[in-house]
Amino acid sequence: MENENMSTALRREGFIIDCEAGQNGRFRANTTSAWIKVGQRVQRGAALELFDSVSVECTEDQDGTLIVRVIVFNPDWDEPLQIASMRSRPHDPDSLSALGCNLNHVTI
């Protein structure tokens, strides 16, 4: 069944999301886009708070290029920072790279 789902996803959706959440369970989905945030507990002054520290954004450009961006956040920074961007062109048989990876840091 899982191979059948994978085959269907390869034809329709561009991404597979698989999330393990410890005791809280597991989530798996085939999708055309996704936005995943991870927050963590931080101490700021005398207060504890949850702060979104990283996000993963999965999108598809109009030309069919699939893009995954990893963005980090810090309460001491003025702007978020993209630390990675991966691109694939699954509909382009002439593409010279299966997965392009850019690790340049970009302020957003």
Give the model's pLDDT for residue 36.
Answer: 96
Quote the domain boundaries for residue 47.
Answer: 33-107
**Dist CA 22 CA 33 (whole Å):** 24
Kindly give the parts of the chain with pLDDT less than 50: 1
**Dist CA 33 CA 41 (whole Å):** 27
Give the model's pLDDT for residue 55.
Answer: 97
pTM (2 d.p.): 0.83
Same domain, 60 and 15: no
Give the model's pLDDT for residue 5.
Answer: 58
Question: 46 with 64: CB under 8 angstroms?
Answer: no
Give the model's pLDDT for residue 82.
Answer: 98
Give the model's pLDDT for residue 13.
Answer: 84
Give the model's pLDDT for residue 95.
Answer: 86
**Dist CA 82 CA 107 (whole Å):** 6
Same domain, 4 and 54: no
Same domain, 24 and 77: no
Give the model's pLDDT for residue 3.
Answer: 58
